[in-house]
């Protein structure tokens, strides 16, 4: 993040609007990028929407694992819809102006939905841990009431903190340019326009990243260390293969999402650049939602059978 020296009082401004530059540096690729991202958005809506439908209507998928997967697919639709439609509008119309309120609202939704994704991925890891390490107690532990509470907690836990995070980011003094070299209102490029002392603001960003990224990730890693230990003790090779198969899809999504998010928010300041931030942000805001349906269907026989039944109707 850029850090500007404290400017004279008259140079400090509160911009009425920002300009999202997005991919303005490659105008010759404008319509190619529009077509590409429109196709990706369609794939995300169709793929995640299909998983959401089959987990609701297929009797064989009425289990906690698929209940969480259905919620995760719905979350992915919401998450990508917080950024991609605006990006498509900017590419199509070249109108990149965005009011301060609209920018703050977009950031707030992205942060809240991102926190929900972190918690929901942790909940899904817990579900797999109970299913594999405590199979006899699984129906009792993961009863419908508990599953509902875990999902509701994932959705609402980050709301107050992320609203506060958004407020503190936009409370900094701004000076000079109001151009955001990004395709959505993210924290690093916004703080890059700030003037004066923003150490406290940056510390709050790091604390938020630790709370919403490292804590859930640590929980996931601990859960999977216990899962692996349990699976390796299984006498049947088929049983081990089945257990690893149900976990590998979730681990792939965890790696994509957490890896790109942690690098974006916690890598050293000297390694920050607008182009790197944009590329990394594409992974956790667009690539993960796009690959989620593919990852969860390729090696999942239950989902494949449910899809066949749905399309045969």
Say if 2 falls within a structural domain. no
pLDDT at residue 239 above 70?
A: no
Collect all residues with Cβ–Cβ distance below 8 Å to 173 and sequence separation of at least 6.
7, 12, 13, 14, 194, 195, 196
- The H-assigned helical ranges of the chain are 30-57, 64-81, 84-93, 100-133, 138-141, 144-156, 159-169, 187-191, 199-209, 215-232, 237-266, 274-282, 288-298, 301-312
Say if 133 falls within a structural domain. yes
Specify whether the CB–CB gap between 278 and 183 falls below 8 A.
yes
Reading the block at residue 305, the tokens are 């059978």
The predicted structure's pLDDT at residue 1? 42
CATH code, 165: 1.20.1070.10
Q: Which domain holds residue 17?
A: 10-312
Say if 111 falls within a structural domain. yes
The predicted structure's pLDDT at residue 34? 94
CA distance 163 to 167: 6
Reading the block at residue 210, the tokens are 């630790």
The predicted structure's pLDDT at residue 10? 47
Q: Is the dihedral of CA 119, 217, 284, 290 positive or negative?
A: negative
For the segment 43-51, the average pLDDT, to the nearest whole number, is 93
pLDDT in tens, 116-154: 999 999 999 999 999 988 989 999 999 999 999 999 999
Question: Nearest Cα to 117, choosing from 245, 213, 222, 53?
Answer: 213
Q: How many domains does the chain have?
A: 1
User: If you average pLDDT over each of 37-51, 163-177, 187-201, which comes out highest?
Assistant: 37-51
pLDDT in tens, 104-114: 999 999 999 99
Collect all residues with Cβ–Cβ distance below 8 Å to 166 and sequence separation of at least 6.
104, 107, 108, 111
């Amino acid at each position: 993040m850029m850090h500007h020296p404290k400017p004279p009082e008259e140079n400090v401004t509160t911009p009425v609007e920002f300009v999202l530059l997005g991919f303005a540096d490659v105008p010759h690729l404008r319509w190619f990028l529009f077509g590409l991202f429109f196709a990706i958005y369609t794939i995300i809506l169709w793929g995640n929407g299909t998983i959401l439908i089959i987990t609701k209507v297929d009797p064989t998928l009425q289990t906690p694992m698929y209940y969480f997967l259905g919620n995760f697919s719905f979350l992915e639709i919401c998450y990508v819809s917080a950024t991609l439609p605006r990006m498509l509008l900017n590419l199509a119309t070249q109108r990149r102006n965005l009011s301060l309120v609209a920018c703050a609202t977009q950031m707030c939704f992205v942060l809240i939905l991102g926190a929900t994704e972190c918690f929901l991925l942790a909940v899904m890891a817990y579900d797999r841990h109970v299913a594999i390490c405590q199979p006899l107690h699984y129906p009792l532990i993961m009863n419908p009431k508990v599953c509902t509470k875990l999902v509701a907690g994932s959705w609402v836990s980050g709301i107050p903190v992320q609203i506060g995070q958004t407020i503190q980011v936009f409370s900094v003094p701004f000076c000079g340019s109001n151009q955001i070299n990004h395709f959505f209102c993210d924290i690093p490029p916004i703080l890059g326009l700030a003037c004066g002392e923003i150490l406290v603001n940056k510390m709050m960003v790091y604390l938020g990243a630790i709370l919403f990224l490292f804590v859930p990730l640590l929980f996931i890693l601990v859960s999977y260390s216990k899962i692996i230990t349990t699976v390796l003790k299984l006498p049947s090779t088929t049983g081990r293969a089945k257990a690893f198969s149900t976990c590998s899809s979730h681990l792939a999504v965890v790696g994509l999402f957490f890896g790109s998010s942690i690098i974006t928010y916690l890598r050293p300041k000297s390694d920050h650049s607008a182009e790197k931030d944009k590329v990394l942000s594409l992974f956790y805001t667009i690539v993960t939602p796009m690959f989620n349906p593919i990852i969860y269907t390729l090696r999942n026989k239950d989902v494949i059978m449910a899809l066949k039944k749905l399309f045969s109707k």
